[in-house]
A and B are shown apart, each in its own frame.
Chain A
Amino acid sequence: MLSIKAIQKSFGGLTALSNVSFEVREDDIKALIGPNGAGKTTLLNIVSGIYQPDSGEVLFLGERIVHLAPKAVARKGISRTFQHVELFVNMTVLENIMVGRHARTGYGFISSGLKLPAVGREETEIRQKSEEILEYINLAHRRDEDASNLPIGEQRILEIGRALATEPRLVLLDEPAAGLNIRETRNLGDIIRKIRDELKITIVLVEHDMDLVMRISDSVTVLNFGEVIADGTPLEVQKNRDVIIAYLGDEEIISGGYGAHP
């Protein structure tokens, strides 16, 4: 469904991504892992149109999207969340979701200001759909609270709910478990799975929490210093020698370090 083809991106002299290629299959939960600075978020930003790559292609459902602006990418059916939560903090939980539905609607300032009947009907529909989404992500009890008053775990889930409101085909999650405790992370994993299983939405997940990644993902791509060093099922990746070296250091160094004891 999503093909990343030979993406090259550097910032000044620093190469963030070099020749990165991989595929995301439809209805998969694809995890993108790697040490800090490996280029995971840069890649998400390229897919969602925030950055332009120096070269390479991104195909979504067979269509080139690499030249599109973020809002155009969103309209193609790719939604996302952010590493540093980007909620609308001065709005209620329900309103946050409702904004997510706005892009699907066509009424402008004049018809809204005059409150034409069609606008009222549409508003009722937006509200209804948004409340359904809140129920779906188990946040209905927070409906009228300011988004900024939620604990971080619920803020991250609200961000996922807002992404769902745009009716996407693909959702990009940038470190959704950052700052969450074990219970919250488990709940998050359940919700991500439910979204994929029930709504048939494909997920790309950038994450450092290995328990979560190994538990819910179907396929894992590992980046290190801007290059793909492994791609496969969670089990395959766990056993991959390059991955172990990237995360823990070279075997010789490890055995050398521990082996120093006679």
Chain B
Amino acid sequence: MKRDESIAFIFFVLLMVIVPLISESTYILTVGIFAGINALVAIGLCILMGYAGQVSLGQAGFYGIGAYVSSVLSLYAGIPPVLSIVCAMIVAALAAVVLAVPALRLKGHYLAVATLGFGEIIYIILNEWGPGGPSGFGDIPHFGIMGYTIDSTSGYFYLIWASVAAVMFFSLNLLGSGSGRALRAMHDSETACNAMGLNVVVLKIKVFVLSAVYASLAGSLYAHYVTFVSPSSFSLFYSILVLTMVIVGGIRNVWGAIFGAVVITVLPELLRKFEELDVLVYGLILTMSLMFFRKGIVPILIDTIKRARGSAVAKH
């Protein structure tokens, strides 16, 4: 991590510790929990698309795998959630390797359609063979660790945002390392990467697996928090929603993924007072933000701060 990033990271962790202390409202914490879950999926998609230049419209598939595998293992096999979450990550990682095989041959729109197909396959599998079929199943055990079960809203808020912090820590380190540079290089020119001796095939598989593991973690946490899952939460709509978060926040910056996840999760709540017009206003805000902030909110904020710093230095 660079210095600015470390400061931002510490600030972000403090903010997440403070929010539940000053907020009495379960409602705000619940919205915060969902924002955190979405942020986990969005960070993975941001690295995959914004950094590595691969497209995915199938993240809901990995999210669904995380939710269902962990739920089934903990509910029916009695495996503690800590372990079942890890098992789900492994299943998601294997699924990502399978998806990466066609992805290695496809680019752009074609890759988008292939990943969309993958997401739909998982959705159909959950519908047909998942416990409870289309109506889903409940009584999923709460998350617990070493005999201590988390069942309060603030407990889940901390658990989920601690996960976001851990994932963010890992991601910032990764992106700041040689591997991160290789991912960005692959985005710009695969031909040149090959000429440098980089293994583009392995890099692509790795980055698909990474985004799948993040989405799977999010899905598992979702399932143990809500204690009920049904296939409808893991449809194409969710993949598009995460894509929207990443683009609104700023696709070339991982902070943008968190920011976009919070904005897109909170926005519908704020728009409740427009009643039946809320969807209309929501659409309007999205369209406008893409027209005027094409690079995304976070990169524009960073540019503004840099410019302000620059002019402060110039005045001296």
Contact = CB atoms under 8 A, between A and B. Distances in A.
B270 interface: no
Interface in A107-155: 107-109, 112-115, 119, 122-123, 126
A89 B187 CA distance: 10
A159 B196 CA distance: 11
Nearest to A115: B173
B198 A102 contact: yes
A241 to B, nearest CB: 37
Contacts, number: 105
A109 B188 contact: no
B193 to A, nearest CB: 8
B148 to A, nearest CB: 26
A109 B178 contact: no
Contacts of A91: 181, 184-185, 188
Contacts of B171: 113
Given A87-B188, A109-B206, A166 B178 contact: no
Contact of B178 (A86, A98, A163): A98
A215 interface: no
| Interface class of chain B by DSSP | helix
A47 to B, nearest CB: 11
A48 B171 CA distance: 34
B304 to A, nearest CB: 19
Contacts of A126: 178
Contacts of A103: 196-198
Contact of A105 (B170, B178, B200): B178
A162 B194 CA distance: 13
A229 interface: no
Contacts of B184: 88, 90-91, 95
B199 to A, nearest CB: 6
Interface residues of A, number: 42
B189 interface: yes
Interface string B236-270: 00000000000000001000000000000000000
B233 interface: no
A165 B196 CA distance: 9
B79 interface: no
A72 B195 CA distance: 9
A99 B198 contact: yes
B194 A99 contact: no
Contacts of A89: 188-189
Contact of A70 (B178, B185, B194, B252): B194
Given A95-B181, A114-B173, A87 B192 contact: yes
Contact of B179 (A88, A100, A104, A107): A107
B210 interface: yes
Given A87-B189, A88-B189, A99 B182 contact: yes
B287 interface: no
Contacts of B199: 71
A88 B185 contact: yes
A170 interface: no
Interface string A14-52: 000000000000000000000000000000000011100
B163 to A, nearest CB: 14
Contacts of A224: none
Q: Which of A69, A87, A102 has the most CB of B within 10 A?
A: A102
Interface in B180-223: 180-182, 184-185, 187-189, 191-200, 206, 210
A13 B170 CA distance: 53
A64 interface: no
A107 B195 contact: no
B197 A166 contact: yes
Q: Which of A49, A91, A122 has the most CB of B within 10 A?
A: A91
B198 A109 contact: no
A79 interface: yes
A82 interface: yes
Contacts of B185: 88, 91, 99, 102
A75 interface: yes
Contact of B188 (A88, A102, A104): A88
A122 B178 contact: yes
Given A99-B185, A102-B181, A112-B177, A74 B194 contact: yes
Given A74-B197, A166-B197, A86 B191 contact: yes
B302 to A, nearest CB: 15
Contacts of A100: 196
A141 B150 CA distance: 55
A80 B181 contact: no
B203 to A, nearest CB: 9
Nearest to B203: A109
Nearest to A102: B178
Nearest to A100: B196
Contacts of B200: 71
Contacts of A71: 193-194, 197-200
Interface of B: 170-171, 173-174, 177-182, 184-185, 187-189, 191-200, 206, 210, 252
Which 6 A/B pairs are nearest by Cβ-Cβ distance?
A103-B197, A74-B197, A112-B177, A70-B194, A113-B170, A88-B188
